């Protein structure tokens, strides 16, 4: 699992707990970003799958631990998003990904932001635990 999630959560948690007690809304939100790779493994992406499955498990455990303290913990799992991610893959894997998404209109970063916005704007009584959002043509 990615250490950044641990470090950021550790740093943010005291502030979130305080916000849940002191804010007029009476709730605070922690939203992690994962991926469809946290649900479906693909050849050549084992390390990426490891991190995303880890984010999903970490998020669920935190959700259970913090729900009674009015800190809602959620995860957004986007599919193919228009980013530079494929530029960091080794050649064979990058070419396979490019073939797989050829002709697909990927999600835009603002689509992921919309999912986060939806989660954090729900009334206190509503907890959206996860949102899976894929490009329209994406099958995995």
How far apart are alpha carbons 107 and 109 in whole angstroms?
A: 7
Query: Catalytic one among 28, 32, 35, 48?
Result: 48
How far apart are alpha carbons 120 and 27 in whole angstroms?
A: 9
Q: What is the b/e burial string over 113-129, where b = at least 16 CB atoms within 10 angstroms of the residue's CB?
A: eebbeebeeeeeeebbe
How far apart are alpha carbons 51 and 49 in whole angstroms?
A: 5
Burial class (CB in 10 A: 0-12, 13-18, 19+), 96: middle
In the residue annotation, 48 being an active-site residue is answered as yes
Token pair recorded at residue 10: 């550790």
**Which are the catalytic amino acids?**
48
């Amino acid at each position: 699992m990615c250490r950044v999630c641990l470090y950021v959560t550790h740093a943010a948690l005291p502030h979130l707990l305080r916000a849940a007690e002191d804010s007029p809304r009476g709730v605070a939100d922690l939203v992690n970003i994962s991926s469809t790779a946290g649900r479906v493994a693909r050849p050549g992406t084992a390390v990426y799958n490891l991190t995303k499955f880890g984010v999903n498990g970490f998020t669920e455990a935190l959700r259970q631990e913090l729900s009674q303290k009015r800190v809602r913990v959620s995860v957004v799992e986007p599919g193919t998003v228009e980013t530079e991610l494929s530029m960091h893959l080794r050649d064979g894997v990058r070419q396979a990904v490019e073939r797989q998404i050829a002709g697909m209109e990927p999600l835009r970063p603002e689509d992921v932001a919309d999912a986060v916005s939806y989660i954090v704007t729900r009334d206190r009584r509503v907890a959206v635990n996860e949102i899976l959002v894929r490009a329209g043509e994406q099958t995995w």
